[in-house]
């Protein structure tokens, strides 16, 4: 950390621009490997980004080894074409460069790829600077190599209405044939659920009562795209899937007693009105939270109507934070099988809790960081600094016309 910060500091000169300084910060945050870190654009650059900047105009779809054009109906580029180069740079090199600016937990790549699928235009701009013309080499689905040129576009022409793809409901239960049910959980964020009139504890109570009443033996839980939320919802969900009391968090740790205690009130967060007396000093810069500080530090007991049948879980690179915590407990206890992509959050835990936002005085860039280190009560990790890796690695259909991962899960339930 000292080497990283010192070497970065030494590159700052009197002529360093806000844009260059922002790039330095983004690289630092990415190198720290904490997916909860956030860094905003300086206000002047944010204004320029929205009003004047021109960006790479195609939406791309990144897989582990290939990159495809995801836009449909482009006359120049057939759907499903593979991108080989942009402005004479290989897409592999471009991918490596843009990845250096994206934050993610540990050594996880799937979250970075998911972010690139939505915001490649911005990270390419960050890596390469603004360009008005792009020369692209592609390979069409029939194997032909083509060279095309396209012009940059403003962001408003690349990004649709943010409300367009928002689901009417984040929580859904669907009963299928063959004694199978699909439980779709798109968010654990209490405030987000309240906007659509959804109550997470009530939804689970009703859903698992329905599963019990109908004698469902096969359950698929869809956690794709669920970036997390309230940390008490993870053990609540698991309490419907187990017959034994369990521990969820192994420990919670702070680096200081100087915390924003008003934000740790139970009316705002999941903590039990945290105060200094709840922190036990274990070393000069470590303060462990006592079991009275958070309900997830205590043993959780099974719920009535808990589900005893077979379980499959759909996950991807956006299964993050609370979602990854829940998946870690499921994985550690061998409660179900995972399908899809590695989670965006690490198996061992994360640094989050109440976030602090700090505004840098000259650039006005906002940095957001977590105040609590979460250690999960799980068996030792097989791969350090990685997420939950699915037993069935299934790539989603590139065209978006079919749900490859869900279809694969449904096939497994029929075996």
> 278-331: per-residue pLDDT in tens?
999 999 999 999 999 999 999 999 999 999 999 999 999 999 999 999 999 999
pLDDT of the residue at 401: 79
Interval 331-369: pLDDT, tens? 999 999 999 999 999 999 999 999 999 999 999 999 999
Q: Please determine, for residue 163, whether its predicted confidence score (pLDDT) is greater than 60.
A: no
Q: Which CATH class is domain 171-413?
A: alpha beta
Domains 53-157 and 171-413 share a fold: no
Report pLDDT for 388.
98
Average pLDDT value for the chain: 94
Q: Where are the domains of the chain?
A: 53-157, 171-413
> Domain spanning 53-157: which CATH class is it, in words?
mainly beta
Mean pLDDT, to the nearest integer, of 366-393?
A: 96
Residue 229 scores a pLDDT above 80: yes
Query: Can you give the pLDDT at residue 415?
Result: 85
Range 96-123 average pLDDT = 96
Lowest mean pLDDT among 38-47, 70-79, 261-270: 70-79
User: Which whole number is the average pLDDT over 64-72?
Assistant: 84
Residue 165 — pLDDT band, cuts 50, 70, 90?
low
Specify the pLDDT at position 79. 80
The pLDDT of 245-264, averaged and rounded, is: 96
Backbone dihedral angles phi then psi of residue 32, each to the nearest 5 degrees: -65, -25
Does the pLDDT of residue 399 top 90, yes or no?
no
For position 74, what pLDDT does the model report? 66
Of residues 200 and 401, more confidence is placed in: 200
Q: Above 70 in pLDDT, residue 227?
A: yes
Predicted pLDDT at 77: 86
The per-residue pLDDT for 363 is 92
Give the confidence band of 73 by pLDDT, cuts at 50, 70, 90: low
């Amino acid at each position: 950390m000292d080497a990283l910060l010192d070497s970065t500091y030494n590159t700052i000169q009197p002529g360093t621009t806000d844009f260059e300084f922002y790039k330095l910060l983004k690289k630092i945050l990415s190198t720290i490997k904490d997916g909860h870190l956030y860094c905003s654009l300086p206000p002047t650059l944010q204004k320029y980004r929205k009003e004047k900047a021109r960006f790479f105009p195609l939406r791309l779809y990144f897989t582990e080894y290939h990159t495809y054009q995801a836009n449909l109906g482009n006359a120049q580029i057939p759907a499903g074409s593979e991108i080989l180069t942009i402005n004479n740079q290989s897409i592999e090199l471009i991918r490596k460069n843009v990845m250096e600016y994206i934050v993610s937990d540990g050594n996880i790549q799937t979250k970075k790829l998911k972010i690139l699928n939505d915001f490649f235009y911005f990270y390419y701009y960050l890596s390469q600077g603004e360009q008005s013309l792009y020369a692209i080499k592609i390979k069409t689905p029939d194997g032909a190599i083509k060279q095309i040129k396209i012009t940059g576009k403003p962001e408003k022409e690349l990004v649709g209405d943010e409300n367009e793809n928002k689901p009417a409901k984040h929580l859904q239960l669907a009963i299928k044939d063959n004694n199978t049910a699909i439980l779709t959980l798109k968010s654990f964020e209490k405030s987000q659920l309240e906007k659509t009139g959804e109550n997470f504890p009530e939804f689970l109570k009703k859903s698992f009562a329905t599963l019990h009443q109908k004698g469902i033996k096969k359950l698929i839980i869809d956690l794709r795209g669920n970036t997390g939320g309230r940390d008490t919802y993870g053990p609540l969900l698991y309490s419907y899937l187990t017959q034994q009391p369990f521990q969820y968090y192994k420990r919670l740790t702070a680096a200081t007693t100087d915390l924003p205690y008003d934000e740790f009130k139970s009316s705002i967060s999941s903590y039990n009105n945290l105060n200094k007396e709840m922190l036990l000093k274990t070393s000069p810069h470590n303060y462990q939270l006592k079991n009275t500080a958070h309900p997830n530090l205590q043993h959780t007991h099974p719920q009535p109507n808990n589900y005893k049948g077979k379980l499959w879980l759909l996950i991807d690179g956006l299964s993050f934070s609370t979602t990854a915590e829940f998946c870690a407990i499921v994985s550690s206890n061998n409660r179900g099988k995972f399908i899809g992509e590695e989670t965006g959050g690490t198996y061992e835990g994360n640094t989050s809790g109440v976030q602090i936002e700090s505004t840098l005085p000259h650039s006005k860039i906002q940095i957001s960081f977590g105040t609590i280190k979460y250690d999960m009560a799980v068996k030792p990790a097989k791969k350090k600094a990685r997420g939950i890796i699915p037993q069935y690695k299934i790539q989603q259909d590139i065209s978006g016309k079919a749900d490859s991962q869900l279809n694969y899960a449904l096939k497994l339930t029929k075996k």
